[in-house]
Amino acid sequence: MARLCKPAMIAPEHIITVDETLEFAAGAHAGKPQLPLALRLIRNTGVRKRHIVQPIEKTLRHPGLEERNRIYEAESKRFTPLAIEQALVNAELRARDIDAIIYVSCTGFLMPSLTAWLINKMGFRSDTRQIPIAQLGCAAGGAAINRAHDFCIAHPSSNVLIVSCELCSLCYQPDADDIGSLLSDGLFGDAVAAAVVRGEGGVGIDLERNASYLIPNTEDWISYAVKDTGFHFQLDRRVPGTMEPLAPVLRELAKDHSWDAGKLDFYIIHAGGPRILDDLAKFLEVDRKVFRHSWATLHEYGNIASAVVLEAARRLFEEDTPVPGATGLIAGFGPGITAEMALGTWAADDIPQTFA
């Protein structure tokens, strides 16, 4: 058994609203022919506000890749312990009960992985397995859940900690004025999330089946150009249309499990943007409201990359706790174009857990 317990999410203290984003974009790229289209796209993202790790004045400057990566290290060490401590409480476990840590991030680079620092600083055992995932982008949240599921199957009774640290604002490129860059400047936010997948016990989603799928010949549709100034986000205009080929894959996954993907009780979907959610609702033939936890995440935090599915799942636990046996779908989408998908059933132990 592998059970996803209630996630925790921490958002940085600095906030930028959509109106401020539009104002900054209009000032920084005044007179450029693509600006009116970019402003329209930003207005249509559905993002009302985002959280960022630095004041906007600092975010809008580029101090160089070395300094940005220093900030990434400092801020990841500030926020990840807070999210982890809450996730452990939610799972009714201690640090020493964790057998593996899956750390996902696509917005900074550390070697050794932050997992080594976490093990040394937070009381995890020295034999804790380290599984960093750096290059799956927004799909990595779903991938982390799936790899935790796989680990628990391979190592029964194990507990796996998932940590997602996405500081997207540190990838802002002031001089980039292509449509993809301008859109991403108004879409992505910063957040750190964590969750535990328990091998036994707990309350949450029993992970029953998972799968991965890559749309052929789309590897350049979402990508980073790595330059002296760091990571430059590149987005193909065809990306929003990817739900049409992916919806049948989700349907087939559910069908193989004797479920109907259009008739499940809950959905935890990566909120890549409004078109992604609207199209998936259309092709799965479900009401767009079934993605309400993903919509709320998008509205309040923007696209927080791999942390989206964990934050949307947290909202499911807090706002809309399913009845035992309720069936659901988790799906993350990202570079590749890659889909990481899981099916699960809501479950709780009959015997109360002890935690002291």
The residues carrying an active-site annotation are 138
User: Among 52, 48, 113, which residue's Cα sits nearest to residue 79?
Assistant: 52
Pairing relationship of beta strands 230-235 and 222-227 according to DSSP bridges: antiparallel
Element (H, E) at 74: helix 65-91
Taking a C-beta distance cutoff of 8 angstroms, is the pair 282, 31 a contact? Answer: no
Cα distances (angstroms) measured from residue 29 to each of 18, 35, 59, 178: 16, 7, 16, 10
Greatest CA separation for the chain: 65
DSSP bridge pairs for 102: 131, 162
Buried b (16+ CB within 10 A) or exposed e, 306-322: bbbbbbbbbbbbeeeeb
Q: What DSSP designation does 169 have?
A: G
